A = this chain, B = another copy of it.
Amino acid sequence: MKYILFKLSLLDLDVHGYSFLNTQTNTDFIFVDLLPAKNGEEQTIQFLLEVVEILTNYIRKTFDRSTKVLDFHHPHQLLEGMEGFNLELSDQDTLKYGVRTGHPRFFNQLSTGLDIVGLAGEWLTSTANTNMFTYEIAPVFVLMEQLTLKKMREIIGWPDGEGDGIFSPGGAISNMYSVMIARYKFFPEVKTKGMAAAPRLVLFTSEHSHYSIKKASAALGFGTENLILLNTDERGRVIPADLEAKVIEAKQKGYVPMFVNATAGTTVYGAFDPINEIADICEKYNIWLHVDGAWGGGLLMSRKHRHKLNGVERANSVTWNPHKMMGVPLQCSAILVRERGLLQGCNSMCAGYLFQPDKQYDVTYDTGDKAIQCGRHVDIFKFWLMWKAKGTIGFEQHIDKCLDLSAYLYNKIKNREGYEMVFNGEPQHTNVCFWYIPPSLRGLPDSEERWERLHKVAPKIKAMMMESGTTMVGYQPQGDKVNFFRMVISNPAATRSDIDFLTEEIERLGHDL
């Protein structure tokens, strides 16, 4: 047998354990699954151990602040080495040119950090390589999901944790579920007859809410024009009076208000919509209330901060992403529904060829028909393992610590020369939104020219930051506000010294702009 040696040099190390037979006629030969060879088993284990050595070295470096957050290259530069599926190229660059999202100074996304227990859970999950389709093929994971969703519903405050739910591939899909379920609740005949069976339905969400509500409106056949945007106060929170006025206006036009999304933790400002006041209006007009807690849901684990979601127990459905504020590895998002039966009713197609009713166990545990997916990735185990390891109190400590850090940043810069806050007052979540004003702009009057020049500052600083690879933080415009930095902290590895480093870095890079 002749082997071709495959050079799996993922990082700095070369792994020579992987080989395969290029031509093979014996149909009983096991290709590369157990690595082939007389001592295939040993080669397999050796190969995996070498991979793990690469990965643990990567992890070591990620947590070392002297390591760069990224080694930036433009697309065309990386593509040079990847074109044509060339066997000789590019594996070695996968981790090298990636972004270290677990680095203590990576603040760019809502999901940051690298939880080691969660990581171990993912490694186990991928080794088990099953899916959440039926109890038959994932008995333990299906039960873990059920128990965990119940626990989450208890924390929301629904009596005895009653209700339903499912893990979905991210907050956008979870939010899409909420709109589908609401429609099924009020107009179940849409499932069979389509949108023609319903009157003109309108949905409401804040102008600061996540774009997935808009994507759902388009995808599900409502149309984005039937998604009515609500005004917010200067902190980015829905103004309940505006909601009621728009509901009344819609009804006067003959439309049917069906769905309101309240955001618990907006993407940019980290604002929490006033759920109780919104719930009052929803109850008055018989409208489905969804709470998008993809980002802010984690605060329910904190006795100190959960009051920001007061009223969440009045919601009909809640999106909550443990992969954001709770540090669970991507992907881990739950859609939770207060009324049992709707999720099943909305999505089930009772395909007997997939869900056999005459199996030997209680087939109500087969969750597949509730989902819009068929095969479904196992997202529960890493979360289950982390929860058991940290306990609820561990999540609480993590969340409190991140919010303390953001308060530290806010207090540090709110009156500091060269900084201007995008809105006043303590942040509700870990989002701290600010402009850095380079010395050259500090004397300028409040003019259009000043704002135009300021608009270009954050992108310039960000570009230099990425080139130097020292830290990463996001920026964006919002409404009539020109580009500003949005600092978010969900990384458990971050400390006050990293916050200090960020401001020093912004000042260093932005000083001469």
B375 in contact with A330 (CB, 8 Å): yes
Report chain B residues within 8 Å CB of A27: 401, 404-405, 408, 495-496
B99 in contact with A354 (CB, 8 Å): no
Chain A 49-75, CB-CB to B under 8 Å as 1, else 0, gives 101101110111001000000001111
Q: Which of A417-474 contact B (CB under 8 A)?
A: 456, 459, 462-463, 466-467
B459 in contact with A360 (CB, 8 Å): yes
A231 beta carbon closer than 8 Å to chain B: no
A214 to B191, CA, bound (A): 10
A120 beta carbon closer than 8 Å to chain B: yes
Interface centre among A83, A141, A170, A385 (most CB of B within 10 A): A170
Chain A 246-273, CB-CB to B under 8 Å as 1, else 0, gives 0000000000000000000001100000
A215 to B369, CA, bound (A): 10
Could you say which of B20, B51, B75, B346 contacts A120, with CB atoms under 8 Å apart?
Answer: B51
Interface centre among A20, A137, A193, A351 (most CB of B within 10 A): A137
Report chain B residues within 8 Å CB of A33: 63, 102, 113-116, 327, 492-493
Query: Contacts A20-B390, A48-B116 given: A191-B224 contact, CB under 8 Å?
Result: yes
A362 beta carbon closer than 8 Å to chain B: yes
Chain A 465-487, CB-CB to B under 8 Å as 1, else 0, gives 01100000001111000010000
A494 to B378, CA, bound (A): 24
Query: Contacts A119-B126, A172-B372 given: A56-B48 contact, CB under 8 Å?
Result: yes
Interface centre among A94, A129, A390, A496 (most CB of B within 10 A): A129
Q: Which of A113-138 contact B (CB under 8 A)?
A: 113-117, 119-120, 122-124, 126-131, 133, 135-138
B137 in contact with A101 (CB, 8 Å): yes
Query: Contacts A75-B139, A93-B140 given: A222-B194 contact, CB under 8 Å?
Result: yes
B172 in contact with A94 (CB, 8 Å): no
B218 in contact with A85 (CB, 8 Å): no
Q: Which of A354-377 contact B (CB under 8 A)?
A: 354, 356, 358-362, 365, 371-377
Query: Contacts A130-B101, A215-B347, A374-B211 given: A354-B267 contact, CB under 8 Å?
Result: yes
B119 in contact with A127 (CB, 8 Å): yes
A143 in contact with B79 (CB, 8 Å): yes
A411 beta carbon closer than 8 Å to chain B: no
A241 beta carbon closer than 8 Å to chain B: no
Report chain B residues within 8 Å CB of A133: 109
A111 beta carbon closer than 8 Å to chain B: yes
Query: Interface-forming stretch among A276-284, A391-399, A503-511?
Result: A391-399
Query: Interface-forming stretch among A39-47, A300-308, A309-317, A335-343?
Result: A39-47
What is the oligomeric copy number? Answer: 2
A387 beta carbon closer than 8 Å to chain B: yes
Could you say which of B47, B331, B394, B483 contacts A377, with CB atoms under 8 Å apart?
Answer: B331
- Name A148's closest neighbour in chain B (CB-CB): B85
Could you say which of B56, B75, B173, B225 contacts A362, with CB atoms under 8 Å apart?
Answer: B75
B138 in contact with A99 (CB, 8 Å): yes
Report chain B residues within 8 Å CB of A365: 75
A464 to B219, CA, bound (A): 45
Could you say which of B115, B122, B221, B478 contacts A32, with CB atoms under 8 Å apart?
Answer: B115
A200 to B197, CA, bound (A): 11
- Name A130's closest neighbour in chain B (CB-CB): B101
Could you say which of B78, B193, B362 contacts A139, with CB atoms under 8 Å apart?
Answer: B78
Could you say which of B44, B59, B140 contacts A116, with CB atoms under 8 Å apart?
Answer: B44
A151 beta carbon closer than 8 Å to chain B: yes
Could you say which of B55, B75, B170 contacts A375, with CB atoms under 8 Å apart?
Answer: B170
Report chain B residues within 8 Å CB of A28: 495-497
Query: Contacts A119-B129, A122-B126, A330-B375 given: A361-B75 contact, CB under 8 Å?
Result: yes
Report chain B residues within 8 Å CB of A391: 22, 87
Supplied contacts A49-B52, A101-B129, 19 more A-B pairs, CB within 8 Å: A8-B385, A30-B492, A31-B394, A33-B115, A41-B60, A52-B52, A52-B123, A94-B141, A109-B137, A129-B329, A172-B373, A173-B372, A192-B224, A194-B200, A194-B225, A196-B200, A210-B374, A211-B351, A215-B349
The 7 tightest CB contacts between A and B, nearest first, are A221-B221, A194-B223, A122-B126, A360-B463, A169-B169, A195-B195, A195-B221
